[in-house]
Amino acid sequence: MIITQILAKNASIYKDETALVERAPTLNEKKTITWNQFYTASNQLANSLKDQGIEKGDKIVQLMTNCLEWLPIYFGILSTGAWAVPLNFRFESDKILLCTNTAEAKVFIFGEEFIDRIETIKNDIKTCVELWIFTGPQELRPKWAIQYESFIENASGETPPQVNLDIEDDAALYFTSGTTGTPKAVLLTHRNLEHACEVENAHHSQTHEDIFLCIPPLYHTGAKMHWMGSFLVGGKCVLLKGVKPQWIIEAVSEELCTIVWLLVPWAHDILIAIENKDIDLSKYMLSQWRLMHIGAQPVPPSLIEEWNTYFPDQDYDTNYGLTESTGPGCVHLGVENVDKIGPIGKPGFDWEAKIVDKQGNLLFGNESGELIVKGPGVMKEYYKNPEATGDALKDGWLYTGDIARYDIDGFIWLVDRKKDMIIYGGENIFPVEIENFFQKNKKIKDIAVIGIPDDRLGEIPAGIISVKPGCIVCESDIIEFQQELPRYKQLKKIFFGDVPRNPTGKIEKPKLRRIYANDKRKDIKKLLR
């Protein structure tokens, strides 16, 4: 079933029940819409776009932060048969320009936060953009854009436009985060989006009574595809605008949320707030919170072990996925395997997975190789990039670029990104292994390990370390702590500073390499002796 038909079903069955809640703690505001209002707003936009000549296969950029209008706009675009093109709200002007021109978008829908970024590139955007729609306050509307409310106000909201949509039709263009280079355009079909609903519900058994707390950005496949398991059964979704630990716990308590998907940094921050007595769990209604799941990056086992001491009655799952696999779920741990904290798990619902060497030969046991996956969620292609498509898609298998291994029980462990591997004097070092080791240190909030060029050894491992508030850590502490590591895996350079992560929780290692690759301030070459 095409996901716009699922929305129609929910509106028919659940009508005046709440579909979406928006919480904006900084403004002390809360807004809600029902399933019928969600469906009506989606239809109004779709019909207005059709009246403007938008046809099946056209592309529409959506550049907005999380808000109550985000999902109705997304579904409205899909209802026209056009491709939804959600953009990362952290993209600077140059990447917005690149993505818009790559998509050859006819319509550009944007919020108030992006006026300045768009105006600097508007004249450089190809003449493909025919209509600019502004979703912010009327008083801030640029003269060259039409107000969203004015655009849809006279359109019918009863039914969507009549468009012949097939489950195999193209649906959406998602740009990768660009943590390893220039963002690539991932083309997803309606079948991909449908499967995201199915796989998430199969893994976490959402019912209509479940309430999903959505914190990550909706432009990304992660949060939205996790929500789709609840969407399939008409469950309520709470959109939280902010990531402070207190806001998360308050939202769970006040909205009676049952399912929360977190990024590793947010889980860390919640635990720190509990440890520092900034959060008193006894003051909140949390007994209904049945599932905390996590993903988007390697999860330190020590984090989950500590989490379980505070939330012993919760189910836990870790999820692995990529934009190219329509988000999470191609591999997942499974709530029944909570005793196996550490691996990313086994193939998800309707998925296959293998680990192969450079020649594509199947690997077993503890050998590390590239993780490849196959299933209904695999993207159609990298749009306008046949070379990258050929590298990633082979005989229906998606080559993820992630290095993994099996354990004795057949569970898959994520070792690291292929591009992040450090070659130190001929030895392969996977930064995630070192990062996980240092996460055991109670004074370390976050750490990123990168390779820095070295004339003699090729690359050396360097660590950028963020210390927990109120703690003091110096180089000698790090040197002493890492003695348990094999000597070749020990950090050869140590820096103290922030660890930048993108909105989906991934460490921005290209940025760190630019900052630290030639930095000599903390060069501790004595460690090389």
Please give the chain's pLDDT, 529 residues, in tens: 999 999 999 999 999 999 999 999 999 999 999 999 999 999 999 999 999 999 999 999 999 999 999 999 999 999 999 999 999 888 889 999 999 999 999 999 999 999 999 999 998 987 789 999 999 999 999 999 999 999 999 999 999 999 999 999 999 999 986 544 578 999 999 999 999 999 999 999 999 999 999 998 999 888 789 999 999 999 999 999 999 999 999 999 999 999 999 988 789 889 999 999 999 999 999 999 999 998 766 677 888 889 999 999 999 999 999 899 998 899 999 999 988 888 899 999 999 999 999 888 999 888 889 999 999 999 999 999 999 999 999 999 999 988 899 999 999 988 766 677 787 765 678 788 888 889 889 899 999 998 888 766 768 899 999 998 889 999 999 999 999 888 888 999 999 999 988 766 778 887 888 888 765 444 444 333 3
Residue 129, SS3? coil
Q: Is residue 314 part of a domain?
A: no
Q: Is residue 519 part of a domain?
A: yes
Q: Is residue 516 part of a domain?
A: yes
The domain boundary residue, chosen from 165, 181, 199? 165
Q: What is the pTM of this model?
A: 0.83
Q: Is residue 243 part of a domain?
A: no
**Count of other CB atoms within 10 angstroms of residue 482:** 20
Q: Is residue 115 part of a domain?
A: yes
Q: Is residue 48 part of a domain?
A: yes
Q: Is residue 363 part of a domain?
A: no
pLDDT given for residue 525 in this prediction: 40
Query: Using the 8-state DSSP alphabet, how is residue 507 labeled?
Result: B
Distance CA 170, CA 103 (A): 13
Per the structure block, which two tokens stand in for 431?
Answer: 């930064």
pLDDT given for residue 427 in this prediction: 67
Contacts of 317 (CB under 8 A, 6+ apart): 203, 204, 291, 293, 294, 332, 333, 334, 335
CA-nearest of 374, 362, 434 to 400 is 374
Per the structure block, which two tokens stand in for 349?
Answer: 């619902």
The domain boundary residue, chosen from 165, 190, 211? 165
The domain boundary residue, chosen from 110, 140, 165? 165
Per the structure block, which two tokens stand in for 361?
Answer: 């030969």
The CATH number linked to 481 is 3.30.300.30
Distance CA 9, CA 520 (A): 61
Distance CA 90, CA 176 (A): 12
pLDDT given for residue 229 in this prediction: 95
Domain count, the chain: 2
The CATH number linked to 112 is 3.40.50.980
Quote the domain boundaries for residue 83.
Answer: 33-165
Q: Is residue 480 part of a domain?
A: yes
